Structure formats: structure tokens, C-alpha cells
Structure 1
């Protein structure tokens, strides 16, 4: 797993003495690219205004907020689980593994973890899953923004490495353009071979380009 960390590293404990980390992921559904997980411990003395579910924000606003989150949070970590890890462990387990790795990589230890969704990884501290948590809990919203911004950046880079697939545009999701490119060009090493459309493309010869 690829890991990036940062943060101010000056804890300001919550009322009960615990630091709370929010965790969220980006990219479970796409056919290509990594799933990216972020964990964030916000500084209550330096709140980041405007945090919300990353899917509701414009790309420019997400990038601005991501910069503020990295600068103002007590600690943050971003972890990538590669397509190969996804194929080895399945997308669910790869995501949980990345979540655990992100929490364990924080430069300030969390005393409690809030995870967006229905499932929590096994962690050395208490944790709870919150459906729709990215719109309810600021720490999860911050993690959602970091994960989305990082994954979008990765997919833009993959567009340069693998032109013709439109990764920068659809971010690996199974759009019509992506499915057409997959049938025409075949899968790249960045495609998830455990996902049915990619398996089907592997089993079929690439289609010829139209004149």
C-alpha cells in the first residue's frame, strides 16, 4: 500500500480526552485505479469551514478544502490499495485493510474512529460506522475530501500513462466511453481483473479501430 501522511501534530483532546479520527474512501466502484482511503483528526481549535460530503462539492472547492485540511488538521493519512491488492483480497477487504493502515499511519494516535458506511475495520481503538457520515461528521467529511482529491489526481496521471481510455474524465467508472475503450483496447495493468466487465474484456479479443 502507498501511504502519505502529515498534520500539525499538536493534539487538542476532546471533552472526554479522546482524539477522534474520521475515515472515508473513494473509488470502490470503478473498474480501474486504486481505492483511496483517508483518515483525518481535525483540530477543534482550528476548524476548517465548508467541509461537506466531497461528492457535493465542485472539484475546485474540494482542492481548496483539501489544502486547508492538510494544513490545519492535527494529523492525516492517505492510503492507496492498488488494483492488484483489490484483485487479491476483493474490494471489500482491500478497503478495510486500507482503512486500518490509514488509521495506524496517523502521526497522532486516535482514541476513537468514525467510519463512513456500514462496516469498520479491526482497530486498536473503539470505532463506529455511520451511514452517510461524510455529510454528518466533519472529520469524515474531511477524510472524504482528501480521498476524493487524491484519487482524482491519480486518475489524471493514469490518463497520461494510458491515453485513449478517458481516465481523467470518468475516473475509472464504467461509463459508456470507458466500456467502449475497454472493448476496443483491452484492459491495462490499472484495471481490476476481479471485476466482471474487465474479466469479460480479457476473455474477448480487442475490437479493431473503426476507419
Structure 2
């Protein structure tokens, strides 16, 4: 029996990709990570996540990661279909890991509705799909997937910083470094591909800048 988990990182960010990660383990792999303190990635330090990331990859049977760029995210958000986007890429992820059962951290307020949206397009009809809220905190395998997603996204943010030679922080709208980056570089051509312009904080800043220019 191969057990899989799927989770995302970066859903609420205004900069950088949304990352969806899927992972599966056999019974030996599960036992090898059971006592490593693996939990929801948001509850772990950067150093702890990096350490666990390596251990998880060493113990997994299969891993699959999707990186969804801001332009694609904006297209779905503009039509109020962010959950559809996640469903689509979580389905792709489920079809690309080896698992008999897969537990998914559901983003929809109705987990069963989210489950049905995945089952509808799933190629591998033999796999059993389960969708729950807070699965990243309550299930070991989904927690492992959340760590893979979070570390991958953190590394993508670091790549963007290296490309732009600018500090952008975590990419989340509450981060002071991210706020400062947006305020100073929102309209620079080289930064546009990394920003989610459909997000309210970015829209508000654009409106503020437009109002400033009027006076």
C-alpha cells in the first residue's frame, strides 16, 4: 500500500509562484519519518524545514512538484476561479505520484466538492482520494508534502531575489520587506512577471500611485 499526500504553498502570496507538491511513501518510508517532528510547514523554522526536506526526499517513493507562475494565477483569479486552478494542478499532481490512496489539503470550504472536482479529471481512476481541511497539520504525509511545497517555494523566491538583485522578503502582503519592494518596484519591467497583479494589495497600491500622479 502506497500512501500519498498533496499540499500547496504560496496561495496568499503577492509575489512568486504557487507551488503544489505531491509525495508518496510505503510503510517503511512512513516509519522512517514518523519520529522526525514533521508537521505543517508553517509551524517550522526555515532551518528545520530544510533538514526535514532532505529526510523526506530520501524516504519517499515518489515526488511531484508543480510551480504555477503569477500570470497563470492572475488569469484564474480574474475569473474568481483560484480553487479551480488548485484543483487542476492537484489533479495533475495526483496523476504523477505512485499511490493507492492520496490525502489532499482541501482549499474549498466544502472538501467533498473539491474532491469531486479532482475525481472528475483524474486519469488514474483506481486511486482513492480523500480531501480534508487542515490535513497539512493532521496527517503526517500531507505535512511532508507541505514541507516539500514550502521549501520549493522559498527557494523560488530566493531565485527571484538573485535575478533582480533586490530583497523581496517572503512575498506575502503582510511582510514589510515585500511591501517595500512593491512600493519601490511595482512598475519596473523586470519585476512584472513575478507579481500577482490580481491581488487586492497590489491593486490598492496601483490605485494609490495613480491617485498620487493626479495631484
Q: What RMSD over aligned residues (CA atoms) do the two structures have, in Å?
A: 2.3
Q: Within 2, Cα distance between the matches of 1:206 and 1:170? A: 28
Partners of 1:183 and 1:206 within 8 A in 2: no
**Post-superposition offset of 1:43:** 2.3
| 2:87 aligned residue | 96
**Greater Cα offset, 116-125 or 91-100:** 116-125
Higher alpha-carbon deviation: 150-159 or 89-98: 89-98
Name the structure 1 match of 2:62: 75
SS in 1 for 2:154: helix
The answer to whether the aligner puts 1:194 opposite 2:194 as a matched pair is no
Q: Name the counterpart of 2:10.
A: 27
Given the two structures, how large is their TM-score scaled by the length of structure 1?
0.79
User: Offset of 1:94 from its aligned partner?
Assistant: 2.1
What is the aligned counterpart of 1:36 among 19, 33, 52? 19
Alignment TM-score, normalising by the size of structure 2:
0.78
Partner residue of 2:39? 52
Equivalent residue in structure 2 for 1:115, among 101, 104, 125 = 104
- Greater helix content: 2
- Report how many residues are paired: 187
Distance 1:206 1:180 in 2: 19
Q: Which runs of 5+ in 2 are unaligned?
A: none
SS at match of 2:95: helix
Distance (Å, rounded) in 1 between the aligned partners of 2:197 and 2:10: 15
